[in-house]
Amino acid sequence: MDGLKKHIAIYVAIACLLVVGTFSITYSFFLANIQADETITPTKVTVGNLDLSFVTSQYINADKVSLIDDEDRKTDAPYTKFVVSHSAESNVPGKYNIYITDLEISDNFRTSDFKWELVSLTDDVENVVASGDFLTAKTGQDFKLTSSDIQLPLGTAHTYIFRVWLSNDPDENQIGLTNGSFKGKINIVITT
């Protein structure tokens, strides 16, 4: 009888070890495969119709830019014109930011003398939305033009002109700015 009790005890111990081992392996498998951070980020799902369209006339390609005076930028600087519109059939408010994507810029154009300007166009009147230079621009990285979201009411359109130029400084030797190149395309990122 002692042999039978001994065998039963061994079988029970083996069964317990198998259950505990299986549980441990399963738990460690899920622990190793589930990744989460400690913060909980709420998810918001909005049901609606957001209908924004974006039409641009061309890529900006400025590889033969000459020095111009800042006051001549409207007539002499290379530019692209584009429109962002929000359909009246939309039922979700829209807002967006404007970027230059697919950016390629030569090192000599990464200067405060290579300037850009984004203007809105209303009834042939230009209003500056943003302006700056390409000192911090890097090839392959998106370059944000707007500092905050632009609201676009339902059934409206915004028309823009984006221009770039080499700012002439008669008191400075700017020969190093010649033979530079700049390419990029205007793009928008839509948020709701």
DSSP string, 88-146: TT--S-EEEEEEEEEEEE-GGGSSTTEEEEEEEEETTEEEEEEEEESTT--TTS-EE--
Q: How many residues does the chain have?
A: 192
- pLDDT tens-digit profile of 22-45? 555 544 444 443 343 444 444 333
Instruction: Count CA atoms within 13 Å of residue 22 on its CB side.
Output: 6
Cα separation of 145 and 101, whole Å? Answer: 11
C-alpha separations of 21 from 8, 33, 182 in Å: 19, 18, 63
Amino acid 83: pLDDT? 87
Q: Which CATH class is domain 52-191?
A: mainly beta
Quote the pLDDT of residue 52: 63
When pLDDT is cut at 50, 70 and 90, the band that residue 188 belongs to is confident
Which range among 10-14, 19-23, 53-57, 101-105 shows the weakest confidence by mean pLDDT? 19-23
Report residue 10's pLDDT band, with 50, 70 and 90 as the boundaries.
confident
Tokens representing 171 are: 């008191």
Q: What's the CA gap between 95 and 24, in Å, rounded? A: 50
Q: For residue 134, what pLDDT is reported?
A: 94
Mean pLDDT of 136-160: 91
Q: What is the pTM of this model?
A: 0.69
Q: Where in the chain are the domains?
A: 1-35, 52-191
The phi, psi pair for 186, rounded to 5°, reads -75, 135
**Among the listed residues 89, 98, 82, the one whose alpha carbon sits nearest the alpha carbon of residue 52:** 89
Tell me which residue has tokens 């930011």: 97
